[in-house]
Structure 1
Amino acid sequence: MTKRRQASGAVVLAAGLLLCAGASGCSGRGMAAEEARAADDPVHTLRQAPDALLRAGSSQARTSMEMAAGGTRVTIRGEGAYDFRTQHGQLTVILPQDPAGASGHPPIVELLAPGALYMKNRGAGVPADKWVRVATATLSDGNLVTGGATDPFAAAEVLRGTRTARYVGRTQVAGVAVRHFRGTADLVLAADGASADGRGALRAAAKGFATAEVPFDAYLDDQGRVRKLRQSYAFVNARRKGTVEVFSTTLLYAFGTKVTVTLPREKDIFTGRVAEE
């Protein structure tokens, strides 16, 4: 079980705004200097983004994963919370509806942990009270797309492999002022700079995808924290003998939220074969 509580980043931001309100010129010169740094060295700024999340401690998260299947674009959505320091999180993942408008599948509960992904309501033939456990380093994509939701910290650590980037400008995400960057990351480089717990999964992804290059759009707030991250992954579809592009989007908010994750006991983990659905 993981329990962690940290002061909300919104409180810190509000305090900073109050201080600036009482000092003439605070926002002008400070903001200009910050913009100049972002424009001058966007690669360095992006590579430091995962560290800003570690300082934040935790957040709530929304995810979406889009891909084209049979000429139709489908989207899988998830929502939950994540502790960046322990790399534990919980997401409820909703599969897309069928053409008739029915979901056809109950929500999948996913527990994220270093080196492992636990899923409930996943796989035909798995009892309703059992979990499926997958070692992420054994997956060809390192679980960047397999679970239908990219692990929020793994998504951020891909930015450690940023090779090229440019500062697009300021905008807003969910009402929060952010800096928009666009660039390309390399999964091999990302794995080299990743945390010890995330290194294996990123190395697997670097080998398993059709290319180790990951185009992205990243939106960082004024504390350097990822607010929105959209990444494009390409993998080989053996059945169709072609490359499939998957777009993964991660939204982070409510920093400092309490995150409690209880991993399944061994007796609650399904040990049989999981059938394809």
Structure 2
Amino acid sequence: MVVQDRRGGGAVAVAVACGTGLAVGLLTTGCSPDGAAADDQDPSGRATAAAEVRNSAAALLRAGSAGIRTSMETVSGGTRVAIRGTGGYDFATSTGRLRVVLPDPAGRPGGGHQPITEILAPGALFMKNRGAGVPADKWVRIYTASLSDGNLVTGGATDPLAAAELLRGAREVTYQGEERLDGVRVRHYRGTTDIGAAARQASPRTRPALVAAEQGFTTDAVPFDAYLDEDGRLRKVRQWFRFANGAPKGASVTSTTELSDFGTRVAVQLPDERDIYAGKIASAAR
């Protein structure tokens, strides 16, 4: 799959599964001193819902860290590819470590590829066992601001902080009600978020990636479903991205991030410079 830069005409290979690479305040009446007055000012509840969603990134920063599960599904030309990952993320340092499992092109149970280890860091993505001619003991480093999608989908998993910061541009948000997610009571919100608006509101650590992402998608509007716990922390978010991809119907990517075990220590060590591969990397496309 190729992400087509709709503004510059360039393209970046993204999300292709093959043998050598990646596919790519509370919502209650008492949320203000005068609940009746707040209801009068926001009769639909959408402004309150949007504020809740926009504040979820700040709640994650207060949480410090979390365990994460990710899934990414790409649909292009009738072909569907799914990638899954597990790991942990430290919001204080904006770093995380993921074990990403690729699908088996032959459809065999358990997949046909060795899992890829990914380290997420401010401004960079590191991948080990990348394939495509890269030695097994070496890391590949990609500068996320150089990617047309800001690495929202290129690595096969969306950086959890970027996924949350993307919600800072939330609009047209509706409250869908309470649900239970892994035994935790959550509030379900649905809406769209604007990539450009999110980039302007994002923290300095995430802003460059979102500025880059604004260039890579067919539209700045990203539909989402978000699930927040009683502390306003994001427990699950699903976001839909669309690319031109040179096809009449384009290509779509659904990225889901789930968070749990808040406050658990997450140790992430960045690769040593001598362990980073400096040679030519073969294309991941077949």
Q: TM-score range by the shorter chain?
A: 0.7 to 0.9
Q: Is the 8 A contact 1:123 1:276 kept in 2?
A: no
* 1:127-176, Cα deviation, whole Å (9 max, x unpaired): 01100000000000000000000000000000101122011110111111
Q: How does 1:117-266 map to 2 (within 5 A)?
A: 117-238=125-246, 240=247, 242-266=249-273
Please tell me the residue identity of whatever aligns with 1:161. Answer: G
Give the aligned partner of residue 85 of structure 1: 92
Q: Distance in 2 between matches of 1:273 and 1:213?
A: 35
- 1:112 is the counterpart of 2:109: no
Give the aligned partner of residue 7 of structure 1: none
What is the CA-CA distance between 1:235 and the residue it aligns to? 1.3
Q: Is the 8 A contact 1:76 1:96 kept in 2?
A: yes
- Number of residue-to-residue matches in the alignment: 247
Q: Which of residues 62, 73, 80 is equivalent to 1:66?
A: 73
Moved more, 116-125 or 137-146: 116-125
- 1:33 is the counterpart of 2:30: yes
Please tell me the residue identity of whatever aligns with 1:149. Answer: A
Give the aligned partner of residue 10 of structure 2: none
* 1:16-64, Cα deviation, whole Å (9 max, x unpaired): xxxxxxxxxxxxxx96536988945111111111000001000000000
Q: Is the 8 A contact 2:130 2:136 kept in 1?
A: no
What is the CA-CA distance between 1:198 and the residue it aligns to? 0.5
TM-score calculated relative to the size of structure 1: 0.85
Give the aligned partner of residue 76 of structure 1: 83
Q: Percent identity?
A: 55
Q: Is the 8 A contact 2:76 2:252 kept in 1?
A: no
Q: Distance in 1 between matches of 2:45 and 2:236?
A: 19
* 1:219-241, Cα deviation, whole Å (9 max, x unpaired): 00010000000000111213x46
Please tell me the residue identity of whatever aligns with 2:167. Answer: L
Q: What are the ranges of 5 or more consecutive residues in structure 2 without an aligned counterpart?
A: 1-26, 39-43
Moved more, 149-158 or 161-170: 161-170
RMSD: 1.9
What is the CA-CA distance between 1:100 and the residue it aligns to? 3.9
Summarize the Cα distance change of 1:34–1:237 in structure 2 as closer, same or farther, 3 Å threshold.
same
Please tell me the residue identity of whatever aligns with 1:33. Answer: G
List, as ranges, runs of 4+ consecutive aligned residues in structure 1 with deviation greater than 4 Å: 34-38
Q: Distance in 2 between matches of 1:211 and 1:100?
A: 33
Q: What are the ranges of 5 or more consecutive residues in structure 1 without an aligned counterpart?
A: 1-29
Summarize the Cα distance change of 1:135–1:241 in structure 2 as closer, same or farther, 3 Å threshold.
farther
TM-score calculated relative to the size of structure 2: 0.82
